[in-house]
Amino acid sequence: MDLDLAPPERAFRDEVRTWLRAHLPDDLRDKVARYAPLGRDDLARWHRILAAQGWVAPAWPTEWGGTGWNATLRYLFEEECGYAGAPPLSPFGITMCAAVLLRFGTPAQKQRFLPPMYRGDEFWCQGYSEPGSGSDLASLRTFAVRRGEHYVVTGQKIWTTHAHFADWIFCLVRTSRESERRQEGISFLLIDMKTPGVTVRPLALMDGGHEVNEVFFDDVEVPVDNRVHDEGAGWTVAKYLLGHERMNTARIGTSRRELERLKHYAAQQMCDGRPLIDEPLFRMKLSRLEIEVMALSITNLRFLDALRAGRPPGAEVSLLKIRGTEIQQTLTELMLEAGGPLAQALSGDDDDVTHALARRYCNYRKTTIYAGSNEIQRNIVAKQALGL
């Protein structure tokens, strides 16, 4: 197993790092550093900067605008973006739905949806979870009845990130109840959010932010041409999509950046007359976290080594999701601890990072739930990777 970067890979990393220093707008970098909310305009602006450079969709085939980078270069690019403090790209279109269209979409669907997705002209959201159907996604109840060349969709989705400014939503809907297996009879539809009958209602989170929503479908007509893959084959599409989602949840570059920030912050905070970073118990927690970040980085390099050899990652990719999201939560916990009593408030000056720590802590409680809860991921590893 080769965990070292080759000279061309190190040169590529330096190229990306130099480009980010020159092209990442200071105000966007500052928003990320202050944990300020990022709106559609912020996300679209960075998306279009990357698109102009030809770097917005590295994993796409070159004929659709991809870079032709191998798995190692794509990983280095994502890590450097996170480490530099770049805004995250909204993954629902460019990463998730695009992967589905490239694998299962018709030529007409690819031609219609991929170019505006690449340019950042259309934003997407994901319609999976429902009240009572989260980790047990096969229990979903949103139903679609086919009437001629349309499906008529009725039901509800919940915790839908970015639905309030999305143009399109990709949805799992039930098109048949005849099979005893709940995974059968589910289809994958692309729905225009401007279609009559679509209603978006905001959900206020613990941190006071508006990031997720409820989405209601009341007799919403969807062209049959907007179904991806065969009718009733949506579960196959969903599993394929979740594999792409879980590969991108570790966010190692972001965690490395936040770890350095935590060290700097703890060195400035005083505890019993000395810097908090020198307090033995806190230093032990910090050291343990740094080791875990290093171990996660090495684990990710192991997956990259497998990809170099042409072996796609299997169920064990869930390890990246489990440890990556738990590390992200631990970082917010230690930042909150370092901030002291003033960091406990959910409200305060948006320009004061200390007052943002509690909001960020609350927001990051979700990381171990999305893309399949970590409890489910452990079951997947136990059954499919360890054979237990």
Collapse the DSSP code of 99 into the 3-class scheme (helix H, G, I; strand E, B; otherwise coil) and give the result.
helix
Q: What is the 3-state secondary structure (H, E, C) of 343-361?
A: HHCCCCCCCCHHHHHHHHH
CA distances from 41 to 38, 45, 47, 185, 226 (A): 8, 6, 10, 38, 27
Which of the 8 DSSP states describes residue 133?
Answer: B
Annotated active-site residue 178? The verdict is no
Residues 6+ apart with CB under 8 A from 129: 137, 157, 158, 159, 160
Backbone angles phi, psi at 210, to 5 degrees: -110, 100
Of these residues, 245, 258, 337, 375, which one is catalytic? 245
Rg (CA), the chain: 22
Q: What is the token pair recorded at 307?
A: 């990809």
Measure the CA–CA gap between 75 and 16, rounded to whole angstroms: 12
Collapse the DSSP code of 144 into the 3-class scheme (helix H, G, I; strand E, B; otherwise coil) and give the result.
strand
Which of the 8 DSSP states describes residue 9?
Answer: H
> For strand 274-275 and strand 270-271, is the pairing parallel, antiparallel, or unpaired?
antiparallel
Could you list the active site residues? 245
